[in-house]
Amino acid sequence: MVKDQNYLEKKASYCLDLSKKLGATNASVIVSNSISETVNFRNKKLDESNRSDNLGIEITTYINKKKSSISSSNLLDDNIKILIDKCVETTKNTPEDEFNSLPDKDLLASEIKDLNLFDNTHLENDKKIEYLNQLEDSASSDERIVNTESSFSEDKSSFILANSMGFCKGYKSSSFTATSVTVAKNDKSMERDYEYSSKCHLQDIKSPKDLGKLAAKLATNKLSPKKIGSEKISIIFDKRIAKGMLSTFANAISSSAISRGTSFLKDKINEKIFSDNINVYDKPDILKGLGSKSFDLEGVKTSTLKLVEDGILKYYLVDTYNGKKLNLKSNGRCGGTSNLYFENGKISFKDLINSNSRILYVTETIGHGSNLVTGDYSVGATGFLIENGEFKYPINEFTIAGNFKDMFQNITLANDLDFEYSTNSPTMMIEGMVVAGK
């Protein structure tokens, strides 16, 4: 079992008291414990089983506008004394930065909402193995599947965040993750794909039979791919890929990128950056949400932000340090987003794939082709050709390119949003993108 909150609180309080005694004007500390158990299968056979138990501490000390941090996995009092002494001495020799400070006290979270993030259930290894046996059998039921890999992970964690302004709070969380990777082969090609399910509670993950069947279907559907020529065409991004667009958007509106001037969305607050009726939310209080939290990595309370309203950018993701640079108050986004998602569109998936006579449906992208400074986007991709609403055949070895400034203005979203991850998107269509093929 992970350490209880009382143990972590005592360690955090000890660190804060000692930091003050050794000369720090302010301090913050995170004490955390995590336990992870994983079982891996390969081709229906047990491959490995491992367990890790991590206990760690991260201390940050301030002397007025000077700041430094230190971390360790040794929580014995004698070691902590040495750590804090070194941290304070390092702080004394660190250049001043006028923006260094703890968060404003009135922004700190005053309560912890019960978001149902922790499942105390423990699945013994023999039960994990039983799940993976069923998963592998299901994934291998199609004779075209020639290779399978699967895993089941159980993670439990607990932490306390405390600072010298009196804040001391934390909570437990858990996740259960099952993954299936399949390789399909016929006389024309060999293709790989995957599927996974990750939830805070064990009972919410996909059944092994469904997960294995879906992973196999995704791989076999890609067999015997054809090529496509270079052209300008409407592209539909599968939900797994569409959420990546949202992640890029989040990186572009982080206050660190904005304050450095390294984002194509700098100075775009209250400007229209998406097409009409596009709304983006970051909602930290979803029950059982994979990204849910009551406060950020600085202890600042979180609340729902409507980042984009009818295509207009309303907020950046602001932490304390970069917020002071931008003359903005933190909105509880130190460490990034919580549960980020596009609001559902107004068109069904069926109508979306029938909206043009010829559409490219992208299921996988290759490479990291997003330039946050310019907004340029270029990645390799695989997918399917859709003609008159029907999936005709798989396509591979093509490149799609554009610029997010244009792409965001040409987005149409379906109404098929699911909350499978911490960042989620409905199926997305972007019109008029450039495809480079054979």
80-97 average pLDDT score: 96
CB crowding 89-124: b at 16 or more within 10 Å, else e: eebeebeeeeebebbeeebbbeeebebebbbeeeee
User: What whole-number distance in Å separates Cα of residue 136 and Cα of residue 150?
Assistant: 7
Does residue 438 surpass a pLDDT of 90?
A: no
Helices 125-139 + 208-220 axis angle, to 10:
40
User: What whole-number distance in Å separates Cα of residue 181 and Cα of residue 201?
Assistant: 22
Give the pairing type, strands 390-403 and 428-436: antiparallel
Does residue 3 surpass a pLDDT of 90?
A: no
Find all residues with CB under 8 Å of 353, minimum gap 6, and list them.
Answer: 236, 359, 361, 386, 389
- HSE-CB of 274 using CA atoms within 13 angstroms: 23
Does residue 376 surpass a pLDDT of 80?
A: yes
Alpha carbon of residue 207 to chain centroid: 23
pLDDT the model gives residue 1: 80
- Our CA dihedral for 316, 317, 318, 319, rounded to 10 degrees, sits at -170
CA proximity to 132, closest of 36, 219, 214, 45: 45
pLDDT the model gives residue 437: 82
Residue range 173-217, pLDDT digits in tens: 999 999 999 999 999 999 999 999 999 999 999 999 999 999 999
Q: Per-residue confidence at 369, pLDDT binned at 50, 70, 90?
A: confident
Residue range 311-350, pLDDT digits in tens: 999 999 999 999 999 999 999 999 999 999 999 999 999 9
User: What whole-number distance in Å separates Cα of residue 62 and Cα of residue 20?
Assistant: 10
Q: Per-residue confidence at 2, pLDDT binned at 50, 70, 90?
A: confident
Measured over the CA atoms of residue 102, residue 295, residue 307 and residue 426, the dihedral's sign is: positive
Contact predicate 365/209, CB 8 Å? no
367-385 average pLDDT score: 93
Average pLDDT across the chain, whole number: 96
Contact predicate 145/183, CB 8 Å? yes
231-260 average pLDDT score: 95
User: What whole-number distance in Å separates Cα of residue 318 and Cα of residue 336?
Assistant: 9
Q: What is the DSSP string of 136-159?
A: HHHHT-STTEEEEEEEEEEEEEEE
Give the pairing type, strands 423-424 and 390-403: unpaired
Question: What six digits make up the tokens of 123?
Answer: 């699945």
Backbone angles phi, psi at 160, to 5 degrees: -130, 130
Longest dimension (CA), the chain: 73
User: What whole-number distance in Å separates Cα of residue 342 and Cα of residue 282?
Assistant: 9
Residue range 100-148, pLDDT digits in tens: 999 999 999 998 899 999 999 999 999 999 999 999 999 999 999 999 9
pLDDT the model gives residue 250: 97
Say what percent of the chain tops pLDDT 90.
96
Does residue 10 surpass a pLDDT of 80?
A: yes
Backbone angles phi, psi at 53, to 5 degrees: -130, 110
User: What whole-number distance in Å separates Cα of residue 90 and Cα of residue 403?
Assistant: 44
User: What whole-number distance in Å separates Cα of residue 96 and Cα of residue 60?
Assistant: 15
> In the 8-state DSSP scheme, what is residue 332?
S
CB atoms within 10 A of CB 317: 28
209-230 average pLDDT score: 96
pLDDT the model gives residue 368: 79
End-to-end CA distance of the chain: 55
Ranges of CATH 3.30.2290.10 domains, the chain: 5-220
Top-level class of domain 5-220: alpha beta
Does residue 165 surpass a pLDDT of 80?
A: yes
CA proximity to 421, closest of 342, 314, 353, 307: 342
Does residue 226 surpass a pLDDT of 90?
A: yes
